[in-house]
Chains A and B, each alone.
Chain A
């Protein structure tokens, strides 16, 4: 069983999966040919967002459900601009690609 399980692992490679660095911090890469993923940058982005949520206090989840985002503003003539990424007219809430795939509200549309 152990051999079989190891076989399932051996050739798969970490292609810069940001979660790995984020959660474990020292996950071993299964492929020596993969470039070291810039996990620090990704971790910083996700942590910033988490801090944003904490800063907004316990009511933040409720506000998110209402569709408002504390991080953006409407200075651009009513168009939403994301303070963290600078994106204009983009999605409110967490960065769609924060876990590597492209998601909106939980539905993945690209990976």
Chain B
């Protein structure tokens, strides 16, 4: 068989010769049949080498007349396609992109991202990245601050590695093109955030995450060995098992723009899919953060750890309390700074009682986690959706000078913060737990590595120190490179039969009304799940509320699945809303189960039934793969569904 060429054209168009450029079509043609014309962005993939080279130079026109010729093999799959890469990266935040830039030196890389590449938690991480860069600072100091913040649940070796390697990772970022703020002396300007004993936060104005993302994306765009697949939602990892080991061979995805299933076969997979804030109703995370990575890994039988440690911010703007409600649901929460309380802001419940003195003699100036618990306690006791933060007793000009962003945001919705209190509610912000990772980002699945928020590396322990998350992502993305390359090189050249896993299918057999009904009902179910999580798996927990959550979530999941399948949904069908929902269910259950398992209070996990620290419980919470035969749709890989 002659060497074929796989072609992926980006832009559909009809040329004036009457031929058609076909978008996202997989075709195998003789190279000689292809005319190379004007430059656009096209990938040319040499199938015999199973590597892909991105070329900027080709626009390919298929002459329809050729299609009928016998010597031309064209197989065009409208419904699905298979792509082969050495490395597949799931997620385009700092961890995914940093890793891609390194491994691209050794093989072809596909970066899969479910929306636009910049849409990740990284882009919203505006503070900074921490590292020991000041002569008077030390790795030991950074380690100690991290371990204290993590309430001694951190893995000490992980902390040492991250704090030690941080400075080099920052320097590399600068070499890649990230621009950080400097001082007049020409050195990096280092800020100091809460919990840090020294100045060590490197930042780019107040858009550090965005700047890092920008620099990495530019480098990735310039790298011919890396292909980004936007709007590709990852469905399930492709895995196989022999007696003792599980192997990862790639991932199934759904191209949400073209509604096609695309299967990626890879030798190495990096999971860097970020957070799961949307298991809660109010979160700082963008909409993409639905816990896809943790869910896929759990279904693939990866070990999950410390999911009970969810970091909340105590005072996010509560839309429910605004005089004019926003038209559409705010996608990510507007956090009100501690400076409002620092400058004299007072917290009231909706009966206008000042409640902080009941909880702490420092009142509004108590540490953030105390304030968060106090607010949560008030909300649950009173069955309300928000409390009030009042700064209106301060001089008007001072308020407007210090907090112009809050003033402007609230004014849009009819609230004048110089004369009215601000409605606030805690917002979910960061998941300290995730897929359990070794010191090189390795998991219990061979060929699967993790980095970033989706991983549980042992750095954060029971509570994340500010600005350590970007640092963790950088360090682990880099550390996963060596074992990834080793794994790549020791694999045999035999490519797995890409059809050994059942392919996900689109709901083409369903009427469009039915699909729409499913989508709408799924959104209702999502809101209910978020509500259960907030009411019963929030900041102040209890065994009885957690058990209630466990039961309610189980019932809700059964109700949703019954509905789906009654409408004709089949086990291997996929759609964005349905797949996100199954991931949200999966993550929610992991959080509840982990919270039930920790019979002490530590860091972010507080439970009324075990309100103290227990030294004997200073261990991570581990969740092993489900061995139950009665698995729900959300807890089994799609390709393992009986069909």
Contacts and interface: CB of A to CB of B under 8 A. Distances in A.
A15 to B, nearest CB: 4
A11 B612 contact: yes
Contact of A101 (B337, B369, B400, B402): B337
B370 interface: yes
B360 A9 contact: yes
Size bracket, chain B contacts:
35 or more
B608 A111 contact: no
Contact of A34 (B127, B148, B358): B148
Interface string B169-206: 00000000000011111000101111111000100011
Contacts of B144: 35
Contact of B145 (A1, A17, A27, A35): A35
Nearest to B611: A7
B125 interface: yes
What secondary structure prevails in chain A residues at the interface with B? loop
Contacts of B232: none
Contacts of A13: 148, 151, 367
Nearest to A100: B194
A91 B334 CA distance: 20
Contacts of A30: 367
Contacts, number: 206
Contact of A16 (B197, B313, B336): B197
Contacts of A33: 148, 152
Interface string A76-111: 100001000111111101111111111111111111
A62 interface: yes
Nearest to B185: A86
Nearest to A62: B397
B602 A87 contact: no
Size bracket, chain A contacts:
35 or more
A82 to B, nearest CB: 9
Interface in B411-434: 429
Interface string B265-279: 000000000000000
B606 A35 contact: no
Contact of A88 (B181, B192, B374, B397): B181
Contacts of B341: 99
A14 to B, nearest CB: 6
Among all A-B residue pairs, the 7 with the closest Cβ atoms? A110-B127, A100-B194, A106-B403, A109-B126, A105-B405, A103-B337, A106-B406
Given A8-B377, A33-B148, A97-B192, 4 more contacts: A13-B148, A15-B465, A104-B405, A111-B368
9 contacts: A1-B358, A12-B370, A34-B148, A65-B404, A88-B189, A97-B193, A104-B206, A106-B339, A109-B125
Interface of A: 1, 4-5, 7-20, 23-24, 27, 30-31, 33-35, 37-38, 42, 61-62, 64-65, 76, 81, 85-91, 93-111
